[in-house]
Amino acid sequence: MADATMAPAPASGSGEVSPQRFALILVGIGAALTVFQYLGLLPAALHRLPESMIPPFAPMLDVAFNFVKDDLGLLTFTRWLTGGLEAVLDATANLLFGKRRWPNIGPIPWTAIAGVATVIGYYLGGWRMALLAAFTFTWTALVGQWKIAMETMSVLVVAAPLAFIIGLSLGILAWKSRAFNAAIKPVLSVLQTLPFFTYLLPAVIFFKVGPTAGAVATTIYAIPPMILMTTLGLQKVSPEVVEAGKMSGCTKFQLLRNVYLPAARTEILVGVNQVIMLCLAMVVLTAFIGMPGLGAKLLAMMGSFKLGRSFEIGVTIVLLAVTLDRMSKAWVVMQPRHFERGTPWWKRHIILLTAIGVFVFFCIVAQFIDVANTIGRRQSLSMGKEIDTAIKAFLSIDVVKATTGFLRAFLNVQVLIPFRNFMLSIPTPALILFVTAFALSLAGKRQAVYAALFFSLVALSGWWDRSVITLYSVISAVALAMLIGLPLGIIAARSEKWSHRVLLACDTAQTFPSFVYLIPAIMLFGITDIAVIFSILIFAMVPLTRYTIEGLRAVPAEMTEAADMAGASRWQKLVNVQLPLALPTMAVGFNQAIMFAFFMVIIAAFIGTQDLGQELQRTLAGTDLGKNFVLGICVSLMALTFDLTILKWSSDRKRKLGLGD
Amino acid sequence: MTSDAPVIAARNVWKLFGADPKKYLRKMPSGHSYDAIQADGYIAGVKDVSIDVARGEMLVIMGLSGSGKSTLVRCFSRLHDITGGTIEVDGQDIGKLRERDLIDLRRNKMGMVFQSFGLLPHRTVLENVAFPLEMRGQDKHTRRERALEVVRLVGLEGREDYFPRELSGGQQQRVGIARSLAIEPDIWFLDEPFSALDPLIRREMQDEFLRLQAMLGKSIVFITHDFDEALRLADRIAIMKDGAVEQCDTPDRIVLNPATEYVRKFTEDIDKARVVRAGGLIRDGLAGDGTPVEATATVRDMARMLVSDTRETIPVTRDGAMIGALSRNDALSILVGTD
């Protein structure tokens, strides 16, 4: 009997095999295949799928695209849409940075915009927010980046409201119609894992290069979370409030307009916050398709290794991100407040009046004082050169140089390259088996089937080696991030004060557009493989640390107290009580880290990698839609495998521990 | 009381929750118990209930949580569509109403107060109260006038511009009450309106509610799980268990003659002397002389007289007219708690 179950023959009549044991069997087969490969006994066809067996996905997709594009007339339609969008974008461009288009009254003086932003900041979050807004806009103007920042903003102010409206409508639809919701769910999860390059190319093809394509890609990218938050908010409206609405005699539309939407205000505004942040992150990245603005400038500066200017642009982007994030979050928590009886009209609208006043005042001032209108290149206080010199001087200090040099050499030679070669040496079927086993043991049959299916598709795509390199970058960066992020989180979670501080830092770091993370990586390690890993590492560390702290802090006090009373040492308490209970939450962080890593590894292609990202970036130059999609889907499939598996494990585990979801 | 026809007449009302309740109900053998239904995968929210609400009456529905009282009241207003039976409001079968007419019915005849208030967080007190009027399409001026009037009625003057979040629980429920009264409904549903409030405020709100009712004289369906509250307010009490009405009667008859074992257990700890009134103790064939007692007096009210008096039987009057007599012994045994 024992012999029968030990034998790795899946067809044997061993009856019910536990998933863990089955996973073990899969790993065994995979390992055996790998060993055969090393011994040179494995037929080449089992190591890598022969070229001839790869279905022509890309040309097939191309044919389909062309059919939709030309024969069904989608292109005509989108080009027609482009016209409308272009007009709006031209108008905002004129107002914000004086592009010569209708209505030809711009640019609005920077002081006026900064002034109004300050007043809005005060309205939303008091003096501190006002100060933040004022500082951000003044800084942007003073370092001479006003024009490029406004180029970015001119797209943002169109894309964000558009994403909001579309997301809100689709969210309402998904909430109303079960069928639509079921249809849209998988699309949303694919969209959220799809690398951004895959958004960019269709946008270019269908909507012309430049701001229009940028706006479209940005809008589409920001829609999914808005849909999710809208649906969530509407579902959460208290049934009593709805019943009160019905008993007040609301028609269906009145109910939606007067009861549901206002009552879901918080979630909808959280959606708005996410829309704004995603738009900012994406609009910076649209530099890759030639959208002028902060992103393009940053790309150019990094490309020519001008670290000082890159740094300054990075600071501007970060400041803008933090300001927009804090302001929209303040809006989320802002509650209506009543005025005392008999408050005069002007007092009730004091903020609006001040904003108008400030705006008009600065517009007039700018007519007479040039500096208040625009700050030219010569007048700016940019310290690009100086910072550049300083950074380069710092990097050439012996100790620093030795450290980065050592890290680079050590990681490369001892860790990364051997690991990469090992990953590449595993035969394709063996790796698929490993991943399937991983999904099976953690999550279950269903996830295992998905894992097998998804990775097989990746193998069939014909981009296996590049996919494996992508995977290698992700895994090694996340592993390194765990080495730093987890201890950091554990230590910080020990005190209330430090938890708070580190969480705040994580919060802030998470608002930074991903592009910015490349700056320190390039600064420290130049344009190398290590810089790629490093940028992913810091990007992925944020959720790891954050969820470690949150998981540990959420362990119920009675349990740690019980451990204390049982005489556990600090270490025993951590290992036996806190970590096991925090693990499901930490897994969510781990999952996010992997998702972030998949996202970042594609951006890092810019530094020069040999993975899918680089190929993707190449497709942007042409009109290779089919290939672009195949590559994008490869990334998406790999990411989804992890996403499905880890999240399932986490929620299973939470239920088992009775922690609730 | 203009007519004898009930305001709400429910006949054999069923409300089942589950996959396909209508089909299940059609095939279900009669006399299926709550547990048997549950074993089939359905929950009997309301189980074969027939009950009337008379015009101007205050019917209190009481029961433990999950007994179906909230479900029943939501069937009366068709917030829930019933699975079987009929409910008539003013002689109109509400199950057959079209959407438009149902909305009209709610806009003109019904008001409801909720346990957790159900206020719209983004609207001020005044806007909340005016909400049903706004839905009805009344102009801003009329709306404001009427809302102010009701706000004054519930004693929230001076807080018209506050937002719900800025009010205490008791004040929020006053807003809820004001809102339900804004359209001058004939039928007033109150779903555990005071349960979320702390005991002192609850008492105060009950007094306030009695004051309003004395003034307005609506037909009321009031839900509570608090027996003391039920006794304080009710003309009649319906006691529910597992979706079914166990007994529906006046408070003193429920206390004196519990219909089922469940009701008896429920009323066990009640101080009967506070509930039973002289009118409920009248026995046929008795007559007495001397100073009569008023039919509405509770045994507790008569305690001193009962102990010091020596008569065997005491005459009872209502509105000055003699309506019968009670046995002093009966009353005394209620007073001292021996049955």
State pLDDT tens for residues B176-228. Answer: 999 999 999 999 999 999 988 888 888 888 998 998 888 888 999 999 998 88
Confidence at residue B168, expressed as pLDDT on a 0 to 100 scale: 92
Alpha-carbon span A265 to A390, nearest angstrom:
48
Percent of chain A with pLDDT over 90: 42
**Model confidence pLDDT, tens digit, residues B262-321:** 999 888 888 888 888 888 888 888 887 888 888 888 888 888 888 888 888 889 888 888
Of A240, A249, A341, the CB nearest to B135: A249
Task: With cut-offs at 50, 70 and 90, classify the pLDDT of residue A378.
Answer: low
**Distance (Å, whole) CA A300 – CA A290:** 11
Query: In which band, very low, low, confident or very high, does the pLDDT at B338 lie, cut at 50, 70 and 90?
Result: low
With bands split at pLDDT 50, 70 and 90, how would you rate the model's confidence at A16?
low
- pLDDT score, position A9: 40
Torsion of CA A608, A612, A613, A615, to 10 degrees: 80
Indicate the pLDDT class of residue B261, thresholds 50, 70 and 90.
Answer: very high
What ranges do the domains of chain B cover? Answer: 8-109+185-270, 273-336
Instruction: Report chain B residues whose CB lies below 8 A from the CB of A337.
Output: 163, 166
Interface of B with A (CB under 8 A): 74, 77, 79, 103-104, 106-108, 110-112, 114-124, 131-132, 134-136, 158, 161-163, 165-166, 176, 179-180, 183, 189
Q: Output the CA torsion B189→B190→B192→B196 (10° steps).
A: 140
Nearest to A246 among B79, B111, B158 (CB): B79
pLDDT in tens, A71-102: 888 888 888 888 889 899 999 998 888 888 77
Residue owning tokens 């806190």: A578
Say what percent of chain B tops pLDDT 90: 53
Tell me how many helices (H) and strands (E) chain A has. Answer: 33, 0
For the ranges A282-291, A519-528, B71-80, B204-213, the lowest mean pLDDT is seen at A519-528
| Res B238: pLDDT | 95
Cβ distance B124 to A258 less than 8 Å, yes or no, reads no
Write down the pLDDT at residue A2: 39
What's B1's DSSP letter? -
Cβ within 8 Å of residue B218, ≥6 positions away? B56, B185, B186, B187, B188
Residue whose C-alpha is closest to residue B127's, from B185, B183, B175: B175
pLDDT of A593 higher than 70? yes
What ipTM does this complex have? 0.87
Three-state DSSP string of A94-156:
HHHHCCCCCCCCCCCCHHHHHHHHHHHHHHHHHHHHHHHHHHHHHHHHHCCCHHHHHHHHHHH
CB burial of A114-142 (b: ≥16 within 10 Å; e: otherwise) equals bbbbbbbbbbbbeeebbebbbebbebbbe
Please tell me the CATH superfamily of domain B273-336, with its number.
CBS-domain (3.10.580.10)
Taking an 8 Å cut-off on Cβ atoms, the answer to whether B161 and A341 are in contact is yes
Residue A528 is which amino acid? T
CB nearest to A244's CB, from B108, B114, B122: B114
Helix-helix angle A518-525:A384-395, to 10 degrees: 50
Q: What is the DSSP letter of B151?
A: H
Q: What is the mean pLDDT of chain A?
A: 87
pLDDT per residue as tens digits for the range A465-502: 889 989 999 999 999 999 999 999 999 998 899 999 99
Q: Rg for chain A (alpha carbons), in Å?
A: 27
* CB A427 within 8 Å of CB A33: yes
CB A205 within 8 A of CB A629: no
| Position with higher pLDDT, B269 vs A173 | A173
The one-letter amino acid code at A552 reads L
B339, pLDDT greater than 70: no
Which of A247, A338, A347 should we substitute to test contact with B (largest number of B Cβ atoms within 10 Å)? A247
- Inspect the interface and report whether the beta carbons of B163 and A338 lie closer than 8 Å: yes
Q: Which of B71, B98, B101, B103 should be substituted to probe chain A, the one whose Cβ sees the most A Cβ atoms within 10 Å?
A: B103
> Are the beta carbons of A444 and A651 closer than 8 angstroms?
no
Q: In terms of C-beta density within 10 A (0-12 exposed, 13-18 middle, 19 or more buried), how is residue B244 classed?
A: middle
DSSP string, A27-96: HHHHHHHHHHHHTT-S-HHHHS--GGGS--HHHHHHHHHHIIIIIS-HHHHHHHHHHHHHHHHHHHHHHH
Answer yes or no: is pLDDT of A203 > 90: no
B179 to A251: CB separation less than 8 angstroms, yes or no: no
Q: For residues A624 and A177, is the Cβ–Cβ distance under 8 A?
A: no
- Chain B positions touching A259 (Cβ under 8 A) are 120
Q: Which of chain A's residues have a Cβ under 8 Å away from the Cβ of B116?
A: 238, 240
Q: In the structure, how many helices (H) and strands (E) does chain B have?
A: 15, 13
* Dist CA A93 CA A108 (whole Å): 10
Count A/B contacts: CB-CB distance under 8 Å: 83
State whether B118 and A339 contact (CB < 8 Å). no
**Whether B118 and A337 lie within 8 Å, measured CB to CB:** no
Q: Is A261 in a helix, a strand, or coil?
A: helix
The reply to whether B273-336 shares the fold of B8-109+185-270 is no
Q: Which helix (H) or strand (E) covers residue B325, if one does?
A: strand B321-327
Q: Considering only the beta carbons, identify the residue of A238, A243, A263 that sits closest to B79.
A: A243
pLDDT for res A1: 36
DSSP string, A303-344: HTT-HHHHHHHHHHHHHHHHHHHHHHHHHHH----PPPTT--
CB A639 within 8 A of CB A598: yes
Tokens linked to A429:
């079927």
Reference B190, options A250, A247, A237, A238; nearest CA is A247
The burial class, CB within 10 Å (0-12 / 13-18 / 19+), for B303 is middle
Q: Do B161 and A338 touch (CB under 8 A)?
A: yes
What residues contact residue B252 under an 8 Å CB cut-off, 6+ apart?
Answer: B275, B276, B277, B279, B280
Collapsing DSSP to helix, strand or coil, A526 comes out as coil
pLDDT at A610 exceeding the cut of 80 = no
- Compute the distance between CA of residue A459 and CA of residue A468 in angstroms, rounded to an integer: 10
Range in A295-309, B8-22, B74-88 the model is least confident about: A295-309
CATH code assigned to B8-109+185-270: 3.40.50.300
Q: What is the pLDDT of residue A320?
A: 94
Please state, in angstroms and rounded to a whole number, the distance separating the CA atoms of residues A347 and B254. 61
